[in-house]
Structure 1
Amino acid sequence: MEFRSLGSSGLKVPALSFGTGTFAGSGPIFSAWGQTDATEARRLIDICLDAGVNLFDSADVYSEGASESVLGTAIKGRRGDVLISTKAGLPMGEGANERGTSRSRLIQTVDDALRRLETDYIDIFQLHAFDASTPVEEVLGTLDTLVKAGKLRYVGVSNFSGWQIMKSLAAAEKNGFPRYVANQVYYSLIGRDYEWDLMPLGADQGLGALVWSPLGWGRLTGKVKRGQSLPELSRLHETESFGPPVDNEYLLKVVDALEEIAEETEKTIPQVALNWLLRRPTVSSVIIGARTEEQLRQNLGAVGWELSAEQVAKLDAASHKDAPYPHFPYRRQEGFALLDPPMAG
């Protein structure tokens, strides 16, 4: 397994990491994703560690904390062998203080996560959404306190816009608070919006992307193909409305290209889609998920080989969309290479 720097930090993370949204699934979204118990989770983690995947990602909102609990049980006795990433900030109840990232909520949230994970520190802690009602100085000051207390080692964000990240980074620099080094983002062959603002920002400011839903909310698993009905057992029947929308003809155009390249490379459609992502600028780790050993082993097969330049170009062309304003004027300039800048740091 290849290891990469997490943004401009000194932390090395595997190119593939494992998402635990399928652990202990409950509720309308997570029950459809999977209901992996601690025994099953331990086996999946064994397979990951054997393959060199040692980063496991969760969130307090995943099955109302049960995902973190299953992860904590499954890694018991081998905490030193793994990196734990988790997130907080989305609503966990109806109360006024059961959402957001105020000082009070963050301190309680981190303590709750540590208890569920059965650990005394979190390797990568990310804010799951921007809290417009709490000053960024309060948020960053609280993270600073938690880092100094040894409860958090690195901090990052997820689902922030570019201006929200830059406002936070400016406040961190001004006040000597910890800088964000991770940005957990939605990015896939059918969801390339990350490239317009957040990718150049990450390259310039040293934020490494931790990519969630790299198979486009399950649409690039090979189950969706032109001229075929969606299989009856596909979880997309239950979860599609929760995910980012995708135009059907655009999706099929990308799937056509993936299918052709999968044949050429003797790989699967998901393996090709994941391999394309692993080549993209600023990507530190791609978070894969799996309900079964078979799914996990297939996803792990996305590493150890490379697409050709011609195959990458074919996927780029199939998934291309014109840049939105204000990006399109300079994106159309010949030789303008903002898309592929070197990682800062």
Structure 2
Amino acid sequence: MEYARLGRTGLEVSRICLGCMTYGDPPRGNHRWTLDEATARPFFTRALDLGINFFDTANVYSDGSSEEYLGRAIKDLIPREEVVIATKVHGRMRPGPNGGGLSRAAIMMEIDHSLRRLGTDHVDLYQIHRWDYATPIEEVMEALHDVVKAGKARYIGASSMHAWQFAKAQQVAERNGWTRFVSMQNHLSLLYREEEREMIPLCQDQGVGLIPWSPLARGKLTRPWDASSARSETDELGKRIYATMPEADAAVVARVGAVAEARGIPRAQVALAWVLNKPGVVAPIIGASKESHLDDAVAALKVKLTEDEVKTLEEAYRPHPVLGFR
């Protein structure tokens, strides 16, 4: 395993982050394809055996059960101080007023609920899952600052939003002497590269670490374009994001297959190697529903693509509509 600092912080994280949306009680939440706790536990064990110390979840994943699974696994398997736990806030957790979003009321309530489910007194990285258009950013940043000062989070991060929104949030924090975001969890893969235009250059300039989500495009980069899986057939977000440019995307997937075949390695290693070697990327967040997914992710750290291979992979890409911010 390789380790890196998260942005300009002193926090060391594994260069592979295990995303925990895959693990949760199937009847709870929006994802019926999630793995129950008994099935999920070996993935936490394998990740730790491989040297992964960075785990990402969210309060909204499977109605909180993802946090519960992760918290119990860490308690049973490893000392708390040896892992980096990241979770997120924004998604609706209950109907009615104040059941979601980034108001001060929601943030203060949800951090306590997340800590209870995770079985810890702090998270290492507390992230806003999306931008809240209904709450002033000053209210959001001050609340997050207070969460840090209360010792409930070590650092704060953000996820998919427009670059101008992220810049505004950082400026508000700096102007008021509040805690700034140290990481950006954005959407980046060979099938979605719109973040290269503004967000990634902004983060590089400001020393913000990138921890991309869906680096394998919901698995579409790991198999032929016309193949499917149980998740892809029920994943509404994936259907929406990867339905806008099917011909162009199919061409990219074919090129991933060609490079993988020439090297004699799985497609997943090629696609993930491309993300890992993008400037500013600290740790892609990978989902794993098979043990081989973890093994391929770690093996991708050793794959160094040539300039010709990168050109082959990138030149078929066509501009996409900006998606995934809401």
Task: Tell me the TM-score normalized by structure 1.
Answer: 0.87
Deviations 1:77-120 (A, max 9, x none): 42122110110112122212111111111011000000000000
In structure 2, list runs of 5 or more residues that go unmatched. Answer: none
Equivalent residue number for residue 23 of structure 1: 23
After superposition, where does 1:58-97 map in structure 2 within 5 Å? 58-77=57-76, 78=78, 79-97=80-98
Identity of aligned pairs, percent?
37
Equivalent residue number for residue 294 of structure 2: 296
Alpha-carbon distance in 1 for matches of 2:204, 2:86: 21
Count of aligned pairs between the two proteins: 317
State the one-letter code of the partner of 1:5. Answer: R
Distance 1:8 1:26, change over 3 A: farther
State the one-letter code of the partner of 1:43. Answer: P
| Partner SS for 1:283 | coil
State the one-letter code of the partner of 2:260. Answer: A
After superposition, where does 1:121-132 map in structure 2 within 5 Å? 121-132=122-133
Select the residue among 228, 236, 251 that pairs with 2:232. Answer: 236
State the one-letter code of the partner of 1:275. Answer: A
| Partner SS for 1:282 | coil
Shift of 1:23: 0.9
Task: Tell me the TM-score normalized by structure 2.
Answer: 0.92
Equivalent residue number for residue 14 of structure 2: 14
After superposition, where does 1:152-167 map in structure 2 within 5 Å? 152-167=153-168
After superposition, where does 1:1-345 map in structure 2 within 5 Å? 1-24=1-24, 25-26=26-27, 29-32=30-33, 34-37=34-37, 39-77=38-76, 78=78, 79-222=80-223, 224-225=224-225, 229-231=226-228, 233-239=229-235, 240-321=238-319
Shift of 1:161: 1.1
Cα contact 1:125–1:155 (8 A) shared by 2: yes
Alpha-carbon distance in 2 for matches of 1:310, 1:29: 41
Cα contact 1:41–1:74 (8 A) shared by 2: no
Alpha-carbon distance in 1 for matches of 2:244, 2:221: 12
Alpha-carbon distance in 2 for matches of 1:27, 1:186: 25
State the one-letter code of the partner of 2:166. Answer: I
In structure 1, list runs of 5 or more residues that go unmatched. Answer: 325-345
Cα contact 2:29–2:61 (8 A) shared by 1: no
Distance 1:216 1:44, change over 3 A: same
Deviations 1:268-300 (A, max 9, x none): 111100000001011111011111223322333
Alpha-carbon distance in 1 for matches of 2:59, 2:273: 29
Alpha-carbon distance in 1 for matches of 2:201, 2:177: 24
| Partner SS for 1:4 | strand
Distance 1:73 1:242, change over 3 A: farther
Alpha-carbon distance in 1 for matches of 2:273, 2:190: 11
Alpha-carbon distance in 1 for matches of 2:58, 2:242: 19
State the one-letter code of the partner of 1:213. Answer: S
- Name which one, 1 or 2, has greater alpha-carbon Rg: 1
